[in-house]
Structure 1
Amino acid sequence: MPKPRTFLNEGYKTVDASTTFEEEALPHYTREAFYPARNGEVIHGRYQLGAKMGYGTSSTVWLAQDLQDGTYWAIKIQVNTMPDEYRTSELDVYRYLAAHGAPNHPGRKHVCELRDAFELQGPVGTHQVFVLTASGMTLGEFRYRPGNMLSPLMARLAVKQVLLAVNYLHSADVIYTDIHADNLLIGVTDQAVFDRIVNLEAKTPSRRKNVHGTIIHASLGVVAGIGPLVLCDMGQARIGPKQEGIAMPAPFRAPEVILGMPWDNKIDMWNVGILAWNLVEDDVLFQLNAHESREQSNARHLTAMVALLGPPPSEFLNRNKSETSKYWDDQGNWIGLPAVPVGVSFELLVKKLNGNERTTFIDFMRSLLRWLPEERPIRRLPSTLYALSIEAISAPQGNEADIGLNTAWCRALGDNSNAALYDL
């Protein structure tokens, strides 16, 4: 049983009080909502916090060592203002997956695993805490650090791993709804990496800011002992094959969600397409204006889809006439504002790829970004559609192995794709 480390409380750089730091930069930030965690603190009688790994609008995440067995875990401490329905929903998804997820599915290693959950009393409220798989920085953080760039191969391998994760979730009737680079953690295969990080933080503390006695620590990015990508944060995931209501980040939102139609796991396949574009082209495919109303934003979003994909089929428009009639007439002509842009195509928009790779990527995008959800692939596509096969890493479902796509753009290097998958 390891002994708790002693963390120095001196020798660190102090951030000026006038400088916005870490979670302070978040919209609607309130200091009292966040738990004032400190490096070296032991919570729940067993987890010693060793380094802050990141933060978001609803939580901070810490690398911690279990003092009972020496293993390292990510401790996600949620804000005390989290509505009760959100407190239970994420936990419900993790527990549901533990009970219903296929244990031998190759996508399981690409989904964050819950080890424990408990409540932590803070100075001004109660915080829900999740003990999760410890990983490195997010793919979003990695790609925007100076000197880092995702090559087309890295983007392709990242998408393959996301497809495995999504297939694992779908096999258990879980719809993720929130796929983007900031929800993809870069796995760490060597636990010794965590040991080195915590030892370094204990002896040479990182920057921090003191705000009326509350310490805000700097987040440490970890890219070492790199392993598989891990899909994290089940806060927006849904259990069950059929759903309705708003879901997905606005620029990633599928048309059936925008138009108030019932939806299913095919929204994740749309989401994978938007993610793939973002990783390859380093851009957002459908640009929205944050200052517009939801109605204006929806109209702009839909015009961009029409410009790129062509008009939706009548079968799609008839699924919720009360909404679609705001934008299309009975003949399927666009009547909304703004006008549909002209001269837009994948061929004109793709800038980062050339030759056959460019062609297969465009085919990949077109297979996923389709108006009719049932036309988006969830089983293997015929090999005539793509030369690319994912059979070497396909996911077992009964006696069949389908992970969603059979497309040339996702091909790994050679047949032994397991090694290539993790070679980010």
Structure 2
Amino acid sequence: MLQRVRDFRQIPTGDIGNILERWNSLLRLPRTSYTRPQNRHPDFPFPSLEVARYCPGGYHPVRIGDVFNNGKYKIVSKLGYGAYLTKRHVALKVLTADSFGHQKDTFELDILKHIKAQHIQHPGKGHLLGLLDEFEHHGPNGNHVCLVFKAMGPDLSKYRRLFPNIRIPLPLVKEISRQLLLALSYLHDRYMSNIKPQNILIESPAINKMFEQTPSEAFRPHGSPLEPPNDFYMASTQLSSIEEDIAHSTELSIRLADFGTSSWFNKHLTEWIQPQMLRAPEVILGADWDSKVDIWNLGLVIWELAEGRLLFDGTWTINAPYSPEAHLAQMTAVFGSVPKTLLARSKNRDRYFDADGKLLEPSAFPPCSLEQFSKNPDNSESEKKKFLSFIDSMIRLDPEERLDATRLLESEWLRFTP
């Protein structure tokens, strides 16, 4: 089973002298990017906002032993927002009842069907978690579209915690990067994804064997669920094979999963895309965007996996909430002024910038560079230069200057072996 080697969430003590040191200190923290504090009832161990969505039009209450699609699938255990099922262990994703028939229907099913129908040979398709089956299920809160996927191992947000300072070894980061770029080089013909560590899942021959051969009883959760009527709400678990040390496996592969917020290029689900700390400048500024937002996302995710820390957190001080003003200030501290061509097509320009392209809220962050933030001791000087060049080619403020996935696959850093 997946276990945490140690708790890396300790905040270093010490006096923080100036704003740059404060930012550097913040970036040394192994903050996992995309989970935010949630309100919880003192007597209820789960997020109250999630429980509130178990209502008409919302989530379907799933209990251990429930059957779906006329008995074809039976719930054994909960994996995130899915479940392991009998005979052939697969993952079941039950969409909310209001996912369709409203103003902003998810494109997930359409995109997954389109990917499944494509018979072109492309190495990137094997790094997408494709759709195995889909059906509708009627429950007390409405009709739910159910999606069936291959059962996978842990996501990268969990996997990286197996390593000291939550830094994945560089050779493995390179291989993960290659596979993600292959996936994007396939996807970017038509649609954009939603890249974050939680949406990147691991598999290996040992994990596949576990799901194929282990009896269903082994996946059932220990202990009793909550008392009725809340017995549908259970803790989720991510699994790996007990026969394999996945921290040292040489046979790992990744798949990009969850197209719930994905969009077609010519039809956007929403303009409010990306996790806050991964938002590209054109998204914050309300400019038109395309597949280059995925490239920005990927660059920041690769940085986080290799460095064990965020590049941008979008806060003025350690305990302050996220703000787009602080996020833009951090970007400009590293990359300089936002290009005028981007500002000219930005709906939100006047909210953040004056007529001369200067931030309305003066930046508290002094100019700095990517190199100043790169602290991985395993990076030799020559390796570090190639790594920084690779990251820089993905997180340019001007989307037009970011390399596409196909060209990034030719990057020297991916080919270089120290």
- TM-score by structure 1 length? 0.75
Letter of the 2:185 partner, please give it. Answer: N
| Structure 1 position 287 matched with structure 2 position 313 | yes
Distance (whole Å) between structure 1 residues aligned to residue 168 and residue 186 of structure 2:
25
- Offset of 1:124 from its aligned partner? 3.4
- Offset of 1:325 from its aligned partner? 4.0
Corresponding residue of 1:132: 149
Distance (whole Å) between structure 1 residues aligned to residue 289 and residue 108 of structure 2:
20
Contact conserved, 1:48 with 1:64, CA < 8 A, in 2? yes
Distance (whole Å) between structure 2 residues aligned to residue 159 and residue 26 of structure 1:
36
Distance (whole Å) between structure 1 residues aligned to residue 181 and residue 144 of structure 2:
33
CA 1:403–1:110: 2 relative to 1, 3 Å: farther
Q: Which deviations, in whole Å up to 9, do the C-alpha atoms of 1:336-371 show, x marking residues without a partner? A: 114251142111111113422221111111111112
Contact conserved, 2:354 with 2:360, CA < 8 A, in 1? no
Deviates more, 1:45-54 or 1:147-156: 147-156
Corresponding residue of 1:192: 209
Corresponding residue of 1:50: 76
| Structure 1 position 165 matched with structure 2 position 165 | no
Corresponding residue of 1:6: none
Contact conserved, 2:132 with 2:150, CA < 8 A, in 1? yes
CA 1:412–1:241: 2 relative to 1, 3 Å: farther
- Offset of 1:82 from its aligned partner? 4.0
Corresponding residue of 1:10: none
Contact conserved, 1:139 with 1:181, CA < 8 A, in 2? yes
Q: Which deviations, in whole Å up to 9, do the C-alpha atoms of 1:74-119 show, x marking residues without a partner? A: 11122345464565521111112223x4531101011111122222
Distance (whole Å) between structure 2 residues aligned to residue 159 and residue 142 of structure 1:
15
Distance (whole Å) between structure 1 residues aligned to residue 305 and residue 48 of structure 2:
24
CA 1:412–1:363: 2 relative to 1, 3 Å: closer
- Offset of 1:121 from its aligned partner? 2.0
SS in 1 for 2:123: coil
Contact conserved, 1:206 with 1:218, CA < 8 A, in 2? no
- Offset of 1:292 from its aligned partner? 7.6
- 1:388-403 equivalence runs, <5 A: 402=406
| Structure 1 position 89 matched with structure 2 position 107 | yes
- Offset of 1:146 from its aligned partner? 8.2
Corresponding residue of 1:382: none
Contact conserved, 2:314 with 2:326, CA < 8 A, in 1? yes
- Offset of 1:18 from its aligned partner? 6.8
CA 1:329–1:79: 2 relative to 1, 3 Å: closer
SS in 2 for 1:235: coil
Contact conserved, 2:265 with 2:291, CA < 8 A, in 1? no
CA 1:373–1:102: 2 relative to 1, 3 Å: farther
CA 1:242–1:41: 2 relative to 1, 3 Å: closer
| Structure 1 position 346 matched with structure 2 position 360 | no
Q: Which deviations, in whole Å up to 9, do the C-alpha atoms of 1:176-230 show, x marking residues without a partner? A: 1x2110001112435430132624235xx42342232424333332223764211
| Structure 1 position 121 matched with structure 2 position 125 | no
- 1:3-402 equivalence runs, <5 A: 20-21=44-45, 24-25=46-47, 27-30=49-52, 31-32=54-55, 33-44=58-69, 45-54=71-80, 60-65=81-86, 70-82=87-99, 84-85=101-102, 88-99=106-117, 101=118, 103-144=120-161, 150-171=168-189, 173-176=190-193, 178-189=194-205, 191-194=208-211, 195-196=213-214, 198-201=216-219, 205-213=221-229, 214-224=231-241, 227-240=252-265, 245-289=271-315, 297-320=323-346, 323-332=348-357, 334-352=358-376, 353-378=379-404, 402=406
CA 1:403–1:71: 2 relative to 1, 3 Å: farther
Contact conserved, 1:299 with 1:338, CA < 8 A, in 2? no
Q: Which deviations, in whole Å up to 9, do the C-alpha atoms of 1:25-76 show, x marking residues without a partner? A: 364432544433233332112112232222xxxxx211113xxxx4332111
In structure 2, the gaps of 5 or more residues are: 1-40, 245-250
Distance (whole Å) between structure 2 residues aligned to residue 132 and residue 238 of structure 1:
20
CA 1:340–1:212: 2 relative to 1, 3 Å: same
SS in 1 for 2:85: strand
Contact conserved, 2:128 with 2:256, CA < 8 A, in 1? yes
Distance (whole Å) between structure 2 residues aligned to residue 338 and residue 149 of structure 1:
33
Contact conserved, 2:106 with 2:261, CA < 8 A, in 1? no
- 1:409-420 equivalence runs, <5 A: 409-411=413-415
Distance (whole Å) between structure 2 residues aligned to residue 289 and residue 197 of structure 1:
47
Percent of aligned positions with the same letter in both sequences? 28
CA 1:90–1:292: 2 relative to 1, 3 Å: farther
CA 1:280–1:328: 2 relative to 1, 3 Å: same
CA 1:245–1:34: 2 relative to 1, 3 Å: closer
Contact conserved, 1:242 with 1:262, CA < 8 A, in 2? no
In structure 1, the gaps of 5 or more residues are: 1-16, 55-59, 380-401, 415-424
Letter of the 1:373 partner, please give it. Answer: P
Distance (whole Å) between structure 2 residues aligned to residue 201 and residue 236 of structure 1:
29
- Offset of 1:241 from its aligned partner? 5.1
Distance (whole Å) between structure 2 residues aligned to residue 124 and residue 170 of structure 1:
36
CA 1:175–1:36: 2 relative to 1, 3 Å: same
Distance (whole Å) between structure 2 residues aligned to residue 94 and residue 300 of structure 1:
36
Distance (whole Å) between structure 2 residues aligned to residue 360 and residue 149 of structure 1:
18
SS in 2 for 1:39: coil
Distance (whole Å) between structure 2 residues aligned to residue 134 and residue 408 of structure 1:
34
Distance (whole Å) between structure 2 residues aligned to residue 357 and residue 26 of structure 1:
46
- Offset of 1:324 from its aligned partner? 2.5
Letter of the 2:209 partner, please give it. Answer: A
SS in 1 for 2:225: strand
Distance (whole Å) between structure 1 residues aligned to residue 42 and residue 323 of structure 2:
35
SS in 1 for 2:286: coil
- TM-score by structure 2 length? 0.76
